[in-house]
Amino acid sequence: MRSLGAMRWLVLACVLYPNRELMAQNLQVLVLDALNGKPQANVKIDYFCTRPQHNSAYGNAVTNNEGLATFSNPCSNDEEIEISIYPPDKKEQCGIGAITLKEIVALGAVAKPDSAGGIWCPTKVSKKLKPVPGQVTLFVKKPTWWQSHVAG
Domain ranges of the chain: 25-151
pLDDT tier at 82, thresholds 50, 70, 90: confident
Domain at 25-151, CATH class: mainly beta
pTM of the model: 0.75
CA distance 124 to 35: 7
Residue of 69 and 11 predicted with greater confidence: 69
Using the predicted structure, report yes or no on whether residue 74 has a pLDDT greater than 60.
yes
Average pLDDT of the segment spanning 28-32: 94
- pLDDT surpassing 50 at residue 23: no
Q: Which class for 113: exposed (0-12), middle (13-18), buried (19 or more C-beta within 10 A)?
A: buried
Say how many CA atoms lie within 13 Å of 117 toward its Cβ.
Answer: 10
Q: Sort residue 42 into left (φ over 0), alpha (ψ -120 to 50) or beta.
A: left
User: Over pLDDT 70: what percentage of the chain?
Assistant: 70
